[in-house]
């Protein structure tokens, strides 16, 4: 048992540069985690919602907080648009496999807005404005292992901290 924050975003991270510490604040949406429990999916700020919230998968876990730890890549106008924006990067084939694995179906609102999209390589997002961030050969691998549809395939916090990106 532990606690899921459920509203991780840059605005909820305080930095103390003198002590070199980060503190996570605003625990108003947090809940105790018990495996097999159905949780509310109406949590987190839209840009930071993991796919499990957007497809109404109620038995999520700590990895929800790992999806949200980065600056948002996806900025949808609504929850459904948010999932479409994610699908345009992670691909619809993997989305359908994810839905099938957990026996989920998308609501009919997606019939007109969700097309078929191939998975885009993370390297295609590197440009002159962010090239300095990709100096480490491990940064793209870290992003790839944090931004997965399936929460069971995402790195845990401990695994993320032990990722070669943080060791280099």
Residues 6+ apart with CB under 8 A from 107: 80
Dihedral angle sign, alpha carbons of residues 71, 144, 147, 47: positive
Is 7 marked active-site? yes
Report strand pairing: 21-24 vs 2-4: unpaired
Angstrom distances, CA of residue 130 to CA of 4, 22, 123, 125, 168: 31, 23, 11, 9, 19
User: Tell me, what DSSP letter sits at residue 135?
Assistant: G
Which of 7, 65, 94, 111 is catalytic? The answer is 7
Catalytically active residues are 7
């Amino acid at each position: 048992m532990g606690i899921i924050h459920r509203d991780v975003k840059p605005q909820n991270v305080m930095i103390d540069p003198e002590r070199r510490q980060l503190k996570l604040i605003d625990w108003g949406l947090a809940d105790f985690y018990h495996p097999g429990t159905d949780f509310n999916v109406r949590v987190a700020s839209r840009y930071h919602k993991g796919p499990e919230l957007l497809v109404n998968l109620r038995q999520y876990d700590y990895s929800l907080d790992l999806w949200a730890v980065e600056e948002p890549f996806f900025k949808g106008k609504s929850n459904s648009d948010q999932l479409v924006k994610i699908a345009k990067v992670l691909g619809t084939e993997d989305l359908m496999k994810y839905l099938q694995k957990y026996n989920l179906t998308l609501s009919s609102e997606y019939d007109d807005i969700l097309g078929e999209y191939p998975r885009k390589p993370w390297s295609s997002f590197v440009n002159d404005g962010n090239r300095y961030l990709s100096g480490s050969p491990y940064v793209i691998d870290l992003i790839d292992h944090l931004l997965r549809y399936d929460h069971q395939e995402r790195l845990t916090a401990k695994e993320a901290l032990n990722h070669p990106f943080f060791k280099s």
